[in-house]
Amino acid sequence: MQKKIKPSNKIKKTGLAPGTLVFTGDQKVNRPQVTELIYNQNSIKESLISSKAPLTIHSPQTDFVTWYDIRGLHDLALIENFGKFFNIHYLVLEDIANTRQISKIEEYENGVFIVVNAITESTNESLITTEQIAIFVGDGFVLSFQEDEFDQFELLRKRLNDDKGKIRSKKAEYLAYSLLDMMVDKYIETINKIENDLYDLENEIIFNPVFRNKIKLYEYKHQLLIIRKAIYPLREALSRVMRVESVIFDNSIKLYLRDLYDHTHQVIDKADFLREIVTNLQETYSAELNNKTNHVIRVLTIISTIFIPLTFVVGLYGMNFKYMPELDWQYGYYYCLGFMGLLFICFLYYFKRKKWL
Amino acid sequence: MQKKIKPSNKIKKTGLAPGTLVFTGDQKVNRPQVTELIYNQNSIKESLISSKAPLTIHSPQTDFVTWYDIRGLHDLALIENFGKFFNIHYLVLEDIANTRQISKIEEYENGVFIVVNAITESTNESLITTEQIAIFVGDGFVLSFQEDEFDQFELLRKRLNDDKGKIRSKKAEYLAYSLLDMMVDKYIETINKIENDLYDLENEIIFNPVFRNKIKLYEYKHQLLIIRKAIYPLREALSRVMRVESVIFDNSIKLYLRDLYDHTHQVIDKADFLREIVTNLQETYSAELNNKTNHVIRVLTIISTIFIPLTFVVGLYGMNFKYMPELDWQYGYYYCLGFMGLLFICFLYYFKRKKWL
Amino acid sequence: MQKKIKPSNKIKKTGLAPGTLVFTGDQKVNRPQVTELIYNQNSIKESLISSKAPLTIHSPQTDFVTWYDIRGLHDLALIENFGKFFNIHYLVLEDIANTRQISKIEEYENGVFIVVNAITESTNESLITTEQIAIFVGDGFVLSFQEDEFDQFELLRKRLNDDKGKIRSKKAEYLAYSLLDMMVDKYIETINKIENDLYDLENEIIFNPVFRNKIKLYEYKHQLLIIRKAIYPLREALSRVMRVESVIFDNSIKLYLRDLYDHTHQVIDKADFLREIVTNLQETYSAELNNKTNHVIRVLTIISTIFIPLTFVVGLYGMNFKYMPELDWQYGYYYCLGFMGLLFICFLYYFKRKKWL
Amino acid sequence: MQKKIKPSNKIKKTGLAPGTLVFTGDQKVNRPQVTELIYNQNSIKESLISSKAPLTIHSPQTDFVTWYDIRGLHDLALIENFGKFFNIHYLVLEDIANTRQISKIEEYENGVFIVVNAITESTNESLITTEQIAIFVGDGFVLSFQEDEFDQFELLRKRLNDDKGKIRSKKAEYLAYSLLDMMVDKYIETINKIENDLYDLENEIIFNPVFRNKIKLYEYKHQLLIIRKAIYPLREALSRVMRVESVIFDNSIKLYLRDLYDHTHQVIDKADFLREIVTNLQETYSAELNNKTNHVIRVLTIISTIFIPLTFVVGLYGMNFKYMPELDWQYGYYYCLGFMGLLFICFLYYFKRKKWL
Amino acid sequence: MQKKIKPSNKIKKTGLAPGTLVFTGDQKVNRPQVTELIYNQNSIKESLISSKAPLTIHSPQTDFVTWYDIRGLHDLALIENFGKFFNIHYLVLEDIANTRQISKIEEYENGVFIVVNAITESTNESLITTEQIAIFVGDGFVLSFQEDEFDQFELLRKRLNDDKGKIRSKKAEYLAYSLLDMMVDKYIETINKIENDLYDLENEIIFNPVFRNKIKLYEYKHQLLIIRKAIYPLREALSRVMRVESVIFDNSIKLYLRDLYDHTHQVIDKADFLREIVTNLQETYSAELNNKTNHVIRVLTIISTIFIPLTFVVGLYGMNFKYMPELDWQYGYYYCLGFMGLLFICFLYYFKRKKWL
């Protein structure tokens, strides 16, 4: 197992007035990258805005979907610019900058604010790392904020450029749904991978339990806990969204959200199932280890029980007393050997009956 | 225990747009088999449609129930054909093809979509394997999609042909209920089998705990977890269906659904009960093992405690010092034997009092 | 502990059409016994109907309560006769015959159907066995179906004959309530008995833990799980009945049902409490066992640590080298004894300081 | 730990008709004591009614609160007298006599019936014992039934006599609330005492784990379970009372009930918290014990591993073969000593590297 | 770990009439300190009122927010003064003085009463200590009661003085929200610190498990339990407040309360997640320890199994029987050595095959 890098908690927020914008993550990108994408079924325009040049934000146009994807969150002024331009509540901006949020979906007057902890590419194989993705969907526009340099939505953007398929023909909220769907699919893929690995491990543990596997079990449980922690609040949020009336999410999109809800449900269901499997394996591993210890001690006891008394007997006749009649007997040695042989057989019989042999 | 075959996860779905039909299971059938069954109380017509020939789907007729049973899901074009013909929502088709769904019942405008994880015949005795059965019930027709070559509904189809009983006189939704009932009955049968086996194992473990049994307990728990995971969402879905108004499932069928709900409840109830029993057995097994280890160590300690000091004594008089007065005493040897006998008795008394003997 | 008799699961139901009457229990009675009881406050008539004679069922009369008590369920024709006569839904008959139901209360158009798993007399002291009692209450009549030969309701019937008390003056549903009350009282009695036994066991385990007690703890937990499994669904059913409007159970009877609900609540509450006590005892027992093992190993270690080095020393001077100067010293033997005495004292002091002695 | 006195379960109730008054407790009082207290803000009259004299019950007067406190429940005729006089439902009387109820609050037409399991003075320090207190509050009167001779309400009665404070100026239901408040305060006091004791024990266990403490942990958990079992149903009952409309408990009293609810909540909260602490301590204790065992075994292994091979060597040269060349070497003894010294150092180095020393 | 100071429970409340003001904490402040702060957007006036001087409480003025912060709760007369002046219900005053409350938010006619268990500065690094903060918000005024001398709100007061920011422009309830937000932020900070420490500990435990770490795990779990116990009721209270209509908390403030709710949710979520991680680590630690014990015993067994029989052999030929033919053989010694070498190799091979070496 590789050492884990602990998350930094540099900035202490306590003591500040509520509503102060503070970035609580690590600065993972040198300069934030903003990708602008304006499309409808017929045309699409993508522009990568360098953060150095003065930023020009375009208002959402009728019949077009405007998508701003911001990667890197330490440039608080940038976030505030978007906030002002799209008239976003200050609490939302605070939550975007504070990267330790749990997944949630919140309804505001002019849009829906979504926070998801998405799986990000990790250099460390044995640990799942998540980054916070914040999405704000308004009328005709979507803002997405990625904590990390790694672009979660690269494939989707490519596909949007390439074909005029389903997403291009739909509205901003369908784009938001597509982003969510992508991130949830990543979880499904990850948990299926864990499931496969676990099936291999299961065979290995039952037929050859070594300690290295115990560490692996520990890590799988850790990963499953991380997945559950990330997805559970999302499912709760989706369930709530499906129940309430919403300005942004109308009934046509709700059918898709129900599908998404099913997928999150599936992830949690499998995560819980696999955790039970891991617990079951851990208990079996422990029993197996105890069984082995019992076996080792039994070997020790058998050897000791047989030879310690015999060693006493040979020690007895190794004494140097002047008057030890047995020593002078002609067949004393053979009597002694015979006696010890008898003792040996008795012990064997005893252990046989006790089923230790 | 036989090695388990791990499920394949060949196709990664992440990165595709939502709404893309992808088959995520293993291709278990060479070519999908479609069985058409059109019946009412008086007449019945069964035809096995070879998938090679161009498929002709018949529209449901008044007073007849049309049942298409499709076995094998990798032919996505076939699924899409049925989808188009019966005007089924694209999300439903997606769920049919994606065989890692959890059990659910969903209401659509023109029908009810049901997903069940059914127990399938397995070559491996020690593991329960499930396949995904998808059912779509519309007005006058039932579509059933089986992942596997193994035909879950063979018996039912035979019975439909043979007698004009209850099912023949009822509508499409009663057929759907009958399919569900069959799959739930299989679970009841399976869990009753586990219960019986467990009662045998219980006697064996309490009277003769061997490690092999620990592995068996592990496997029973695994199986019970699989059953619970498959049935629990179905019960939740049935409970929801019974509460809401439905176009397809009217009140006459709901009485039967309540009965089905009771059966799923019964399976979960027994699965949970048996899991507690298994846990209880595992704990007793562990205590028994610890008890055995304690016993073995006690034997070792008794033998060592008695003979190690005695061996010291005989070693003492085996020393070769020139001047050891005891060696020259006439009865030294007998004194020595007497002293060791005394020691022996003291130790026996000590262990007796400590209740180690 | 006596060996447990495993329940038989002779008949496999899977593959039959739903709604097929199948008896899933053991045939415990040679021929079913039917007791007819027709009473009001003034008169009472009891007749034991031999199942050989052609059965005459009497219609319920106004101002009279008609109670048919059927013992033994394998005569399916008999059950169907009653079913037809009293116009009972086919699903109810199915549930009566299928003796693996969980407790429930179901409302039908012409009556209420109740299933209870009641405690039955057992030849095996260490296990609680339950039988399924099915009750159907309609307007003016009660049908009760007992799985077993053992008559649960003998006392009640006797009391009905003897005095014109409370039950005689009330309607059919009060009789049904009385039957339920009797069965729940049996559970209260059983759980109180377990509580008493457990208090004895508690004292015994804390002052003298032997392995036999661990098995007893296992059995108490098993019994408590059986009780909980039987009573929990009944409480849920009662809670539901109390909430909904019912044709049969009006408000006057609901006060009594609330009392019954309290009693089931009390049983579950105590069962859960006792299970926690048993778990607590199990943990204490395990700790005690570990403590004992630790103690035994400590004794072994003390003896070995003291005598193994001493035995080495005496072995050293038992060597037969020609030139070993110490052997020729006049006081070599005494020096040696002195040295070993010192070693002995050092070890004693060491173990004293380590608090092992 | 003192032996626990097991509760008696003398009377078996099964088989009796429901609604039969049976006293299920121990007869703890020779003759029941009835204290009558009639007061308003200006006057108060207390009379102790000997149960021998014919009992005269006074009707509640306008502007006065009449409180009958009955201690000792085996005189069923007395309970029935009160029942008839105040027109109390028979199920209530049954519950008063049956002292194994769980805490509850039930609304009847002419009053509210409250059952609380209150902490009673115990001669046994290490166990909490509870007695059942039943309270019936009607319009202008309160009846309280204590199982025990010990008077729970002595202080309150004294205070009522002494000052014309808050209770005297309020109605019967405020008196009932005061009785409840007193009993809940007793729980708060008890749980705070446990908390303090546990903090002491925590320090002791972490710095010096002895087995006696394990037994103490067992007892604390037992006590916390008893407290939870007694208080949890009371909280549920209070929560229900606060939600529903009530004839007796109007809104003015509900503010006080909310306060009482908070207190029960506090007791349960702390009981659960402390149980987690005890569990945490138990696990730490177990780990500590395992650690100790590991340490002891390590000492044994080090000693054995060093000296058993050395003892073999000295045994080797203690053999009496005629032709053993080493024995005749001039420095054989010193070579041998040197070799053993080397072995000794090697082992020390080995254990050092393994970090066992 | 430092010894923990146990909380004192000097005053027993049982037996007092409900509604008697009793201070149940420790007197931590010599004399209570009252800080008066009256502000609006334009002006601010702070005065520290010595408790010796007669206290003058100012009525809340229109367009101003009046905040009284009282530190130290043992001066009950002071609390009663405020109570009378602001017309606060007696139950509230009782709760302020009784410092063992759980967090809650209660609506009264003229205000909202909030109790929070806030983290206070502790001299003991390894333990989180909480103090009870009570807040009463009425129309235009806030009263805050701190148990401790340590001023939770110093920073906030300073900021209020310094800039005319957000809080100054808002009403009393926003001030109350700010106080709450500050205390919740402290919890977030604390739990993030625990998370970081735990990541370090995780690496340490997996690569080098020593017992000291087990104690640390114990303490982290204890701290997480304290945090959960303090925050959980607050979240429940916030959730309830957000649902109901309130005179004081209107919709504008509810958006902020939702944010606060999210933060408490985040704390609980992370506390539960970390507790699972700690449990996972504890189990891994235990397995590791068992594994080590198994290893140590194996070493012991290998050494004993090899050398005990060899020692027996050399003892055998150390016997002093007169007639032992082997001793006189010329190569007897070498045969013997050879035989023992063979035995040695056999044992090595045996352990190799058993994978113990």
C positions 13-42 inside 8 Å of B (CB): 13-19
| Cβ-Cβ contacts under 8 Å, E14 against chain D | 182, 185-186, 188-189
- Which pLDDT score, from 0 to 100, does residue B252 have? 78
User: Is residue B247's pLDDT more than 80?
Assistant: no
Token pair of A218 as six digits = 């520990």
CB D187 within 8 A of CB D139: no
Q: How far apart are CA B62 and CA B57, in angstroms?
A: 16
pLDDT in tens, C37-96: 998 888 888 888 765 666 778 888 888 999 999 888 878 888 888 998 999 988 888 888
Nearest to B6 among A199, A283, A319 (CB): A199
Looking at residue D6, the DSSP 8-state letter turns out to be: P
Q: Do C269 and D229 touch (CB under 8 A)?
A: yes
D273 belongs to a structural domain? yes
Q: Do C167 and D307 touch (CB under 8 A)?
A: no
| Domain final residue pick, A286, A310, A329 | A286
The lowest-confidence range among A124-138, B151-165, E38-52, E205-219 is E205-219
Neighbouring-strand partners of residue A36: A47, A68
Q: How far apart are CA C90 and CA C88, in angstroms?
A: 6
Q: How far apart are CA C129 and CA C223, in angstroms?
A: 9
Q: Do D262 and E102 touch (CB under 8 A)?
A: yes
**C304 and C270 housed in the same domain:** no
- Mean pLDDT (chain B, rounded): 83
Indicate the number of domains in chain E.
2
Establish whether this prediction's ipTM goes over 0.85. Answer: no
D2 belongs to a structural domain? no
- Which pLDDT score, from 0 to 100, does residue A11 have? 40
Name the closest residue on chain D to residue C204, using Cα atoms: D3
Q: How far apart are CA E148 and CA E132, in angstroms?
A: 8
D225 belongs to a structural domain? yes
The answer to whether E109 contacts chain D (CB < 8 Å) is: no
Looking at residue C101, the DSSP 8-state letter turns out to be: P
Q: How far apart are CA C283 and CA C292, in angstroms?
A: 14
User: Is residue B9's pLDDT more than 50?
Assistant: no
**Cβ count within 10 A of residue E93:** 22
Nearest to D17 among C178, C286, C301 (CB): C178
The answer to whether D323 contacts chain C (CB < 8 Å) is: no
Q: What angle do CA D335, D340, D343 make, to 5 degrees?
A: 130
User: Is residue E10's pLDDT more than 50?
Assistant: no
The answer to whether D199 contacts chain C (CB < 8 Å) is: no
Q: Which of E20, E333, E343 to mutate to test the interface with D (most CBs of D within 10 A)?
A: E333
D26 belongs to a structural domain? no
Q: Do E297 and D297 touch (CB under 8 A)?
A: yes
- Which pLDDT score, from 0 to 100, does residue B180 have? 92
B275 belongs to a structural domain? yes
User: Is residue C6's pLDDT more than 50?
Assistant: no
User: Is residue B264's pLDDT more than 70?
Assistant: yes
Please report, for chain D, how many H helices and E strands are present, in that order.
8, 7
The answer to whether D309 contacts chain C (CB < 8 Å) is: no
Complete DSSP assignment for E38-102: EE-SS-EEEEEE-SSSPP-PPPPPTT-EEEEEEE----HHHHHHHHHHTT--HHHHHHHH-TTPP
Long-range contacts of A15-20 (CB under 8 A, 24+ apart): A15/E155, A15/E156, A15/E182, A15/E185, A16/E185, A17/E156, A17/E159, A17/E165, A17/E166, A17/E167, A17/E178, A18/E166, A18/E177, A18/E178, A18/E181, A18/E256, A18/E259, A19/A90, A19/A91, A19/A94, A19/E166, A20/A94
The answer to whether E89 contacts chain D (CB < 8 Å) is: yes
**A336 and A242 housed in the same domain:** no
Q: Do C333 and B318 touch (CB under 8 A)?
A: no
**Nearby residues of A88 by Cβ (< 8 Å), 6 or more positions away:** A82, A108, A110, A111, A113, A136
The answer to whether C294 contacts chain B (CB < 8 Å) is: no
* Helix B172-207, helix B251-316: angle, nearest 10: 20
Q: How far apart are CA C148 and CA C69, in angstroms?
A: 12
Q: Do A256 and B17 touch (CB under 8 A)?
A: no
**Better-scored residue on pLDDT, E110 or E74:** E110
**C279 and C343 housed in the same domain:** no
> Which of A3, D238, C55, C101 minimizes the C-alpha distance to B267?
C101
User: Is residue B164's pLDDT more than 70?
Assistant: no
The answer to whether D304 contacts chain C (CB < 8 Å) is: yes
How many Å lie between the alpha carbon of C237 and the closest alpha carbon of chain D?
19
A281 confidence band (pLDDT: 50, 70, 90): confident
> Which of C23, C18, C83, C15 minimizes the C-alpha distance to B166?
C18
C122 confidence band (pLDDT: 50, 70, 90): low
- Which pLDDT score, from 0 to 100, does residue C12 have? 42
Please report, for chain B, how many H helices and E strands are present, in that order.
8, 7
* Helix D90-97, helix D76-85: angle, nearest 10: 150
The answer to whether D343 contacts chain C (CB < 8 Å) is: no
- Indicate the residue type of A71: R
**A192 and A73 housed in the same domain:** yes
Owning domain of residue C308: 296-353
User: Is residue D121's pLDDT more than 60?
Assistant: yes
> Which of D219, D214, D232, D46 minimizes the C-alpha distance to D124?
D219
**A228 and A307 housed in the same domain:** no
| Cβ-Cβ contacts under 8 Å, E196 against chain A | 6-7, 9
**Nearby residues of C295 by Cβ (< 8 Å), 6 or more positions away:** none
Centroid of chain to Cα E181: 18
Cα end-to-end distance, chain C, whole Å: 39
Complete DSSP assignment for C7-71: PP-----TTSPTT-----S---SSS-EEEEEEE-SS-EEEEEE-SSSPP-PPPPPTT-EEEEEEE
**Cβ count within 10 A of residue E239:** 15
**Nearby residues of D28 by Cβ (< 8 Å), 6 or more positions away:** D72, D147, D148, D149
Nearest to A13 among E177, E185, E309 (CB): E185
| Cβ-Cβ contacts under 8 Å, B156 against chain C | 15, 17
Token pair of C338 as six digits = 């002195």
- Which pLDDT score, from 0 to 100, does residue C60 have? 85
C40 belongs to a structural domain? yes
| Domain final residue pick, C234, C254, C286 | C286
Q: Do E101 and D266 touch (CB under 8 A)?
A: yes
**C186 and C308 housed in the same domain:** no
D7 belongs to a structural domain? no
For position C337, which CATH number holds?
Answer: 1.20.58.340
D17 confidence band (pLDDT: 50, 70, 90): low
**E137 and E262 housed in the same domain:** yes
For position A210, which CATH number holds?
Answer: 3.30.460.20
**C187 and C313 housed in the same domain:** no
Q: Do C262 and D14 touch (CB under 8 A)?
A: no
How many Å lie between the alpha carbon of E7 and the closest alpha carbon of chain D?
7
CB A61 within 8 A of CB A172: no
E positions 178-197 inside 8 Å of A (CB): 178, 181-182, 185-186, 188-189, 192-193, 195-196
Q: How far apart are CA E185 and CA E156, in angstroms?
A: 13
The answer to whether A46 contacts chain B (CB < 8 Å) is: no
**C198 and C303 housed in the same domain:** no
- Which pLDDT score, from 0 to 100, does residue D1 have? 40
**Nearby residues of D298 by Cβ (< 8 Å), 6 or more positions away:** D356, E296
The lowest-confidence range among C8-12, C113-117, C266-270, E187-191 is C8-12
Neighbouring chains of E at 3+ CB pairs within 8 Å? A, D
| Domain final residue pick, E235, E260, E286 | E286
**D144 and D258 housed in the same domain:** yes
Q: How far apart are CA A188 and CA A182, in angstroms?
A: 10
**Cβ count within 10 A of residue A26:** 16
Q: How far apart are CA B283 and CA B290, in angstroms?
A: 11
Look at the alpha carbons of E201, E206, E209, E214 in this order and tell me if their dihedral is positive or negative.
positive
The answer to whether D331 contacts chain E (CB < 8 Å) is: no
> Which of B219, B232, B218, B142 minimizes the C-alpha distance to B179?
B142
Q: Do A218 and E206 touch (CB under 8 A)?
A: yes
A positions 55-84 inside 8 Å of B (CB): none
The answer to whether C162 contacts chain D (CB < 8 Å) is: no
E-strand stretches of chain A: 33-39, 44-49, 65-71, 104-108, 111-120, 129-138, 141-146
Q: Do A315 and B320 touch (CB under 8 A)?
A: no
The answer to whether D357 contacts chain C (CB < 8 Å) is: no
A7 belongs to a structural domain? no
Neighbouring-strand partners of residue E47: E36
**A68 and A123 housed in the same domain:** yes
A343: phi then psi, degrees, rounded to nearest 5: -55, -45
> Mean per-residue pLDDT for C234-248?
81
Nearest to B192 among C9, C285, C332 (CB): C9
**A62 and A192 housed in the same domain:** yes
